[in-house]
Amino acid sequence: MSATDRPDRPPWADFKGALERAGFHPSRRLGQNFLLDDNMARAIASDSGVTAGHFTLEVGPGCGFLSVHLAHAGARLLCVEIDPRLAPIARDFLQPYPDAEVIEADVLASKSSLAPEVLERLPAAGEWTLCANLPYSISGPFLATVAQLQNPPSRVACLVQKEVAERLASAPGDATWGPLSAAFQESYEVTLGRFVPPQLFWPRPKVDSAVFLADLRGDLAAPEERARRMQFFRDLMQRRRKSLRRVLSDLVGGAQATRSLEALDLDPLRRAETLSLPELRALEREARADV
Ligand code: SAM
């Protein structure tokens, strides 16, 4: 039985009417813009590459519009929904799929840590996938947190604001290259995926959205090393238009900054935003090396 021919499933567009009739007002604070286009939801689930038995985390299932396609692909699905009005709807909707679980929780315990009830359910080893239509308010901190996990997802396919997707997928020298790009790319190879126009959502967002796809790097560093590099990249890139000499001096002191730049033959007047990922990594190593 496919997700689209389930006899008990009301027509797709009825969800909006049913929610409105039940007095539901989408919360802007929680980034509640529901993707009401079934073909697009199916396509995003397919982008994630999820296959039968594969563990998949979905943050913010809402009513379960994307979840149902992930569940239908056979995923062992964990959905984490903060809104107590929505979690039961998603749970109900996913009821035919015994491998799908919906828990009611804020996925983030703090800006840089996952909720314990989520963490304890994630695979400690092996491949798994993150697929979601992420709420805008948490997409940056959540993705940075995920990239620092002991066992991060091997594949990420998420729908976010187009501008965020572009930042995540950008390269040094691009106008969109910034702290999040460098920090996330420390763990992932990122590509820009499909564009999703505002009219496919309810309520309609003011901005465009896009999917990004990310695959875990083969040369992944140990978690502490990753966390240290990501913090350094963020510190450096916060002031990416300043000269390397100036920013690095503020971070590690003038003498250490000069020594590091000389050791790597980097022009002290270059801007941090022009450094490639290998250069950023080398600079982090030099800058914290004992003199
Ligand atoms: N997946 C649904 C869809 O595609 O239609 C809804 C996506 S909507 C953009 C974001 C969802 O994330 C909402 O259901 C919202 O309640 C939920 N959410 C917001 N902040 C959250 C958080 N910190 N933890 C878990 N869920 C959250």
Q: Of all helices (H) and strands (E), which one includes residue 46?
A: helix 38-47
Confidence check: pLDDT of 6 > 60: no
Q: Which atom of ligand 1 is nearest to the CA of 201?
A: 5
How many residues comprise the chain? 291
* CATH 1.10.8.100 intervals, the chain: 239-287
Ligand 1 centroid – CA 284 distance (Å):
35
Q: What is the pLDDT of residues 56-111, one digit of tens each?
A: 999 999 999 999 999 999 999 999 999 999 999 999 989 999 999 999 999 999 99
Q: Does domain 239-287 bear CATH number 1.10.3720.10?
A: no
Confidence of residue 173 (pLDDT cuts 50, 70, 90): confident
* CATH 3.40.50.150 intervals, the chain: 12-216
CB–CB of 161/247 below 8 Å? no
Which of 39, 77, 81 for mutating ligand 1's site (highest number of atoms within 8 Å of CB)?
81
Q: What is the pLDDT of residues 226-271, one digit of tens each?
A: 999 999 999 999 888 899 999 999 999 999 999 999 999 999 999 9
Q: Please state the rounded mean pLDDT for residues 120-133.
A: 98
Residue closest via CA to ligand 1's atom 10 equals 135
Radius of gyration of the chain (CA): 21
Q: Which atom of ligand 1 is nearest to the CA of 132?
A: 1
- Gap between the Cα atoms of 15 and 218, Å rounded: 42
| CATH code that applies to domain 12-216 | 3.40.50.150
